[in-house]
Amino acid sequence: MEHLHSFRRGMNLGGWLSQYPKPDKHHFDTFITKKDIQTIAGWGFDHIRLPVDYPIIEHDDRPGTYLDEGLSYIDRCFEWCEESGLAVVLDLHHAPGFTFNHALKDETRHLNTLFTDEKDQQRFIHLWKFLLNRYHTASTPVIFELLNEVVLPESGPWNVLAKRAVEELRKESKSAKILIGGNHNNAASELKNLEVLPDPNVLYGFHFYDPLLFTHQKAPWVEASVDYQATLAWNGPFSGLEAFLNQHPKHASAFRHLTGRTIDKELLHECMQPAFDFLLSHQRPLYCGEFGVIDIVASSCRNDWHAETIRLFNQYDIGWAVWTYKELDFGIVDYDGKVRDPNLLDILCTI
């Protein structure tokens, strides 16, 4: 099986060109700079994952007309990475007609039109053709990640669109590395429902935030965590979970299997098992584009989870990028660039 050379140990740049507070030039100019890229390289990481929201480079009222100012930030990041010896995963985090954020709320789900609207699909493919032609000849290795965290009732529409996109992109480059992730926020359990294409330059990925009640405990954007409100510890139980699910049956199907379980390495292995099954079945490189624990979790527990997760990645030869470099409740550094937990950084750099 081919390995993901140059994409073994990575860092996400969340919150810069994606999930930004507002489209503000000062933010884009200052949130990530050349110094940050040099710092990441100096720590020993070999690549960054660059999430990009499409409004950075394309206005809805002028589809197909790409914005030089927005593209300049991506260009600059590639230049910095080339100078520092870092590879790049270019991730379309928010696409025309789709963002995982809309899928989280009933009142915005109707805005996700990518999988049903032909114009949105053509726009999606046209945008990717443009990006691939602009960056696939970069002097640093690059992977093009088609879409971040698909959320659909079932995977069929995504399989159709992803296959169509790959076929169109192959007209531009036969060798460009293209990354496809699965349904339900890129869950490892959904890898089995991806159509695996007979193309050696198509790679597959997942995100890992399991068990979610631990990694996202009390996260205000996760309904189950808001309702549960438990403080959980590594090597500890899911306190009061059975009673909670009895009181909130809407969460039972997602979390009932965790009742009576301990948050430990055995549970992590079980949660990641679908990824290992995919590797065994398909013998294709596998990449984890996001993983992490919210910063309100006790540092010792947060660090133990990261350490065991990385050991599993290493055991099964899975490349990864941690979420995330700065801020956004998961940041390795604070807004001023100061390392928040040197012990966690040491784990990320050395295990």
Question: CA 253, 254, 257, 260: dihedral to nearest 10 degrees?
Answer: -110
What sign results for the dihedral spanned by CA atoms 174, 179, 183, 188?
positive
Question: Which residue from 260, 64, 92 is spatially nearest to 161, judged by alpha carbons?
Answer: 92
Clarify whether 69 is annotated catalytic. Answer: no
Of 58, 145, 149, 308, catalytic: 149
Active site residue 149: yes
Torsion angle defined by CA atoms of residues 107, 221, 33 and 89, in that order, rounded to the nearest 10 degrees: -80
DSSP state of 335: T
Range 236-240 contact pairs with CB under 8 angstroms and sequence separation of 24 or more: 236/262, 236/263, 237/261, 237/262, 237/263, 238/211, 238/213, 238/263
Q: Do 206 and 215 touch, CB atoms closer than 8 A?
A: no
Please choose, from the candidates 139, 118, 121, 140, the residue with its C-alpha nearest in 3D space to the C-alpha of residue 129: 121
Q: Which of 58, 145, 190, 290 is catalytic?
A: 290
- Among candidate residues 252, 266, 211, the one with its CA nearest the CA of residue 233: 211
**Please, how many CA atoms are within 13 Å of residue 269, restricted to the half-sphere of its CB?**
8
The catalytic site residues sit at 149, 290
